[in-house]
Amino acid sequence: MALGSTPTGVLRLVFASTAREVIGGLVGGILLSLFLEGVLKKWAENSVQNPIVFAAATLLLVLTSALAAFIPARRASSVDPMVALRYE
């Protein structure tokens, strides 16, 4: 914000960065679970490709990451730039 950004711009920057990482992790996790289904079937009694479990896990991860990004982004966007510059 000290370089001319707005609070909305800061929030957008943090959420875009977080979204890229979360999407990459979800895609990687889903692909690994699909490729390793045979190994995972030995440990679990039923199929590990239950769409309800996939959807619930994905939703939980997305909500958790959104909350984890929102709290520091809100704090960063509410700080007065001059106070932040004087602190360092």
Read off the pLDDT of residues 36-83 as tens digits, 9 standing for 90 and up: 887 777 776 665 567 888 888 889 999 999 899 888 888 878 877 777
Its pTM stands at: 0.67
Q: Would you state the structure tokens that stand for residue 70, as one six-digit string? A: 């929102």
Q: How far apart are CA 14 and CA 34, in angstroms?
A: 30
Q: Tell me how many domains the chain contains.
A: 1
Q: Which is higher by pLDDT, 4 or 47?
A: 4
For the chain, count helices (H), then strands (E). Answer: 4, 0
Range of the domain at 45: 7-78
Residue 37's closest CA among 26, 28, 46, 24? Answer: 46
Instruction: Please state, in angstroms and as integers, the Cα–Cα distance from residue 20 to each residue in 46, 70, 87, following that order.
Output: 32, 15, 31
- pLDDT-derived band of residue 23, with 50, 70 and 90 as boundaries? very high
Q: Does the residue 88 lie in any domain?
A: no
Count how many residues are written for the chain: 88
Q: Does the residue 83 lie in any domain?
A: no
